[in-house]
Amino acid sequence: MTKTALITGITGQDGYYLSHLMLGKGYRVVGLIPPTRQSSIVKLGDLAERVEIYSVDLTDAAALTQAVEQLQPTEIYNLAAPSFVPASWDDPLGTLDLITGTATRLLSATRQLGLATRFYQASSSEIFGDVQSAPQSEETPFRPKNPYGAAKLHAHWTMVHHRDRYGLFACSGILYNHESPRRPPQFVTRKITLAAAAIKLGLRDRLSIGNLDAKRDWGFAGDHVEAMWRMLQAATAEDYVIGTGKLHTVRDLVSAAFSCVGLDWQKYVETDPELVREDEHFQLVADPSKAMRNLNWKPQVRFEQLVETMVQADLKRLVANNLSTVGIHS
């Protein structure tokens, strides 16, 4: 019997890579997309014709329950969330409802219908927030510093409660920063790789950036979604920290990106204090040893390979668009 994977947030970066993975494993893949977001299906690119789309309002509990009952998913991957963390300050209640509300409604639907569906909740290293020690493991205290992190933590505990109280097979992946050529340009990784490509092609001459000393645990999105799938194949439902376990600075990222196009980054990059995030935290780095041990998972793509892939993809995009300047401004 063909397994069915139900995915919220399917048109985002993780949704794309997870869909690609699941299709390769023979799953039927169904994406839940709100009626107001149907135009976002184009983001799936080559996968748009290979997945099914179910239109449903994620804030409508009855409609979500009907969707789960009709589709009878083997696995649910709840990836629904705002894509850009700083924007959560502009709409904290909306962020809470999209992240925690959607998780609660899907978990409740699974429980009420008595299904054996396995549930994955996309958590985030943002729930660790103001960390007191590094690296962070599954035992590290949670201290979120922004509405996004707080909402992710609420959803995380909601998932835990459904697992402990109702016996659902539900788990959370506490994922650190994971990137790809599909990252939107407002993210610092893509902002940098796009700028390096544009400067190489003569489309611009400067890049303004925030704190070059800011550090992140950057991995490849394709590696991270592999961990999501492995969590739901395990014998027991447990939560896992997923990351590379290695810190790199923004300076490392800039240097690597400009090196890919043969340029000295120091000739083109300037710092702008207004771009520094107020809730910046520099020691968010994963201890993925539990996932490596229990799931036989480890990152496959090195930092330098990831940056190279993103720069090359941006070069191709710009050339394919006849050297268009659309979307490349900082």
* Position 232 in a domain: no
Alpha-carbon span 160 to 60, nearest angstrom: 22
Q: Would the pLDDT of 281 be above 70?
A: no
Task: Supply the range of the domain harboring residue 270.
Answer: 184-217+247-284+303-320
In percent, how much of the chain has pLDDT > 70? 95
Question: 209's torsion region: left (phi>0), alpha (psi -120 to 50) or beta?
Answer: beta
133 and 279 co-located in one domain: no
Q: Would the pLDDT of 282 be above 80?
A: no
- Out of 166, 176, 240, 268, the active site residue is 176
Q: What pLDDT does 230 receive?
A: 98
**pLDDT tens string 177-208:** 999 999 999 999 999 999 999 999 999 999 99
Q: What is the CATH number of the domain that holds 8?
A: 3.40.50.720
Minimum mean pLDDT range among 10-19, 81-90, 113-122, 132-141: 81-90
Q: What pLDDT does 325 receive?
A: 47
pLDDT band for 93, please (50, 70, 90 cuts): confident
167 and 253 co-located in one domain: no
Q: What pLDDT does 330 receive?
A: 41
Q: Would the pLDDT of 328 be above 70?
A: no
Instruction: Among 117, 150, 175, identify where a domain stops.
Output: 175
Residue 176 designated active-site:
yes
Q: Would the pLDDT of 324 be above 90?
A: no
Q: What is the pTM of this model?
A: 0.93
18 and 147 co-located in one domain: yes
Q: Please give the sequence-ordered ranges of beta strands (E in DSSP) within the chain, or none if there are none.
A: 4-8, 28-33, 52-55, 75-78, 118-124, 170-175, 178-179, 207-209, 215-216, 219-220, 240-242, 248-249, 269-271
